[in-house]
Amino acid sequence: MDRGIVAGNWKMHGSRQFIVDYVDTLGAAVQDQSLPVGFVLFPPAGYLEFLARSLDERDLSSAVSLGAQNLHPESEGAYTGEMSGEMLKDLGALWVLIGHSERREYAAETNELVAEKFSAALRAGLKPLLCIGETEVERESGSAAEIVTAQLDSVVSYCGTDALSQGAIAYEPVWAIGTGKTATPAMAGEMHGLIRDELRQRSAELAEQVPLLYGGSVKSDNATALFAETDIDGGLVGGASLTAVDLVAIARCLA
């Protein structure tokens, strides 16, 4: 897997008209120069199929992959309001976010549930983008490394070490998401180095294969410095991904 990835998480934003305008702008932005890295968009699940069709109409489907923001661990059943990985793939998803900090906080997702969802993603043939990271309280208490390691270990214990090679990992310091705060490049690089070392302890090959993305208020004006850190292979972008030009600018910082 190519380690260079820039992913845009739209969260609960978007409409059909938003997608039409976004894809038009995206097409114009990359018309003269192809995207330099793996490019993934995570729209709300209800818009996956419409976004896939819109990208195809602009001949962008080969340049842009789609992902879902969440899934249910079961493949089917009496789970009103939920969607399985198999359904998401049927709608055009290739990737799925697993354990995003907002899911851990607002939906009370535990490490154990996150591990189950990671396994469900693999079962459905989706690439899981595992999100791990500490809160401000956890960082200030000096337990950031312990928290991040535990989040990673829960997936390894449930799915096995080799499972990690089938997706990617995003380190997202919770205190830097939607707050305007950003970990300094050195702070982000240190945590990415820790995660890479954790992977290396399991397998040197695994550590080289798995892309590690930074996900904490990434913008075009800080992306170059963040991506210059040795162990940062790309970004999971939130608010800035809602503007196609901005997301492309961030992707070009990784080239």
Residue 248 CB neighbour total at 10 angstroms: 21
Report the candidate in 195, 183, 180 with the shortest Cα–Cα distance to residue 231. Answer: 195
> Distance between CA atoms of 121 and 71, rounded to whole angstroms?
8
> Distance between CA atoms of 63 and 134, rounded to whole angstroms?
32
> Distance between CA atoms of 133 and 247, rounded to whole angstroms?
22
> Distance between CA atoms of 54 and 24, rounded to whole angstroms?
9
Whether the CB-CB separation of 171 and 194 falls below 8 Å is answered with: no
Radius of gyration of the chain (CA): 17
Kindly state the DSSP code that residue 241 receives in the 8-state scheme.
G
Residue 22 CB neighbour total at 10 angstroms: 24
Kindly state the DSSP code that residue 231 receives in the 8-state scheme.
T
Whether the CB-CB separation of 20 and 248 falls below 8 Å is answered with: no
Write out the catalytic residue numbers.
100, 172
> Distance between CA atoms of 166 and 206, rounded to whole angstroms?
10
